Amino acid sequence: SSSMPRFHTIQRTGLGDDPEDFPIASAQYVPTLWDFHKFQNYILRDAANNNALIDGITAYGSPHNVQDYVARAQLICWQQYQALFEGFSSKMFEDKQEGGKSAVVMWKTQSPWPSLRGFLYDWWLGTTGSLEGVRIGTGGYRRMDNSGIGSNLKIQLNLATMRVELVNRGRESHPYHSFASVNWYKFDGEQVLSQNGFKFGPVKPMSVARSEVIKIPTTESYQVLFAQVSLSSPKDNDMIDGETKNNIFRSWYWMSFNDTGDFNYDYKELGEWRDNGPYPHVSGHILSFTMDNKTEKLWWTAEVLIQVDPSSKAIAFAPQFSAFDTSGNILNPLLFEVPAVLLNEEDTTVVLHGKLNSYDSCLAKIMVDFWAGDQLEISVLDPESLCKTAGIIPNFA
């Protein structure tokens, strides 16, 4: 399947030297260097429209430059891989006659050279939208309590049936009653519909529990919506004012609807948002930084608080993190788990796991890119002291 590195890898590969030279599906044009790196197009089939062919890139509006092209490809891969693995999870315990599948193989996780197809992380170990899709498709964003409840659970929305599904991949029953909710938002952060009370009883091991069909908001002044599917699982049905205590899982989806409420693949509204705003006001700072002194000391962990100003007129969509050392070099691999959407009423703590390139430098800054809006820079004021405090003495020149 198609895969796309993030923009800094595209630049590193030389594919971004001419910002206006990128593939154009309608003209069947592929730049020579992109073709050399095994570019695969983003032509999709619309299952809801007799498998009509769709240019996934221009579905978000025509890109203006290579960076726009790459951002669109990241979202396509994210959606594609999330749907692939959630579709498997939905059927993994069904009988063969009912379409059940006992296993799924991801081939391959990395390309053996800087390629443009078939990988979850690039040649330099940079993460991609494909990896985000697999992560969410297999687990989703989790907030587990200390008991570890839910470590084998997956909450998801079946886009074919529009039912909420609770997948229990473990060998033991999930003993608590769980409550799912589906909340729909516009990109400006306005909630247009909230559905609560999808109740799941104790879930048997290796099974999938399903809700009734959910409601789909009627479209008026909007076309693209973001759906947040959340699972809460309190012990002994512990409720507070009708709300459950522990919001354990959260999965996000972005969908486009026509005037009759049917799916389509027209995301031009998101492209216009990227071009013209409104943009979120996002800030962040490092809460903690530690070095792994048990194994190889170059590995580090940082907790970062991301805050979207409540007065923002937009959500923060598709956050992607990068880290740089004191020499200005990007630090890969960098692993993180973050929701696809940060609402303009929430603070989010993101845990980053990364590796220094050498003992001659330390973490200097963290950059966060969003689909729409300015890049967020979180600088380390005193990198040398940060590393020393964490237990490593960098050999700064």
Cα–Cα distance, 102 to 296 (Å, whole number): 37
- Output the pLDDT for position 3: 85
- Output the pLDDT for position 277: 95
- Output the pLDDT for position 357: 87
- Output the pLDDT for position 282: 96
DSSP code of residue 150: T
Burial 297-329 (b: 16+ CB within 10 A, else e): bebbebebebbbeeebebbbbbbbbbbbbbeee
- Output the pLDDT for position 237: 45
Tens-place pLDDT, residues 337-391? 899 999 988 899 999 999 998 877 889 999 999 999 999 999 998 887 877 776 6
pLDDT tens for the chain, 397 residues long, are 678 999 999 999 999 999 999 999 877 899 999 999 999 999 988 776 788 889 999 999 999 999 999 999 999 999 999 999 999 999 989 888 887 877 888 888 888 889 898 889 999 999 999 999 999 998 865 544 444 445 688 899 999 899 999 998 888 887 778 889 999 999 999 999 999 889 988 888 899 999 999 998 876 666 899 999 998 865 544 433 334 445 567 899 999 987 777 788 899 999 999 999 999 999 999 999 988 766 566 889 999 999 999 888 999 999 999 999 998 999 999 999 899 999 988 899 999 999 998 877 889 999 999 999 999 999 998 887 877 776 665 555 4
Residue 268: both structure tokens together: 């031009």
Long-range contacts for 112-117 (Cβ within 8 Å, ≥24 apart)? 114/5, 114/9, 114/13, 114/37, 115/3, 115/37, 115/38, 116/2, 116/3, 116/4, 116/5, 116/34, 116/37, 116/38, 116/39, 116/40, 117/1, 117/2, 117/3, 117/38, 117/39, 117/40
Of 242, 349, 357, 274, the residue nearest 306 (C-alpha): 349
E strand map for 203-326: 207-213, 224-232, 239-240, 243-244, 247-257, 263-264, 282-291, 299-308, 316-317, 320-325
CB burial of residue 113 (10 Å; 0-12, 13-18, 19+):
exposed
Q: Could you tell me which residues come within 8 angstroms of residue 120 by beta carbon, excluding any fewer than 6 positions away?
A: 3, 81, 106, 109, 110, 127, 128, 130, 131, 134
- Output the pLDDT for position 246: 53
What percentage of the chain exceeds 70 in pLDDT? Answer: 88
Handedness of CA 123, 129, 134, 139 (dihedral sign): positive
Q: What is the 3-state secondary structure (H, E, C) of 85-105?
A: HHHHHHHCCCCHHHCCCCCCC
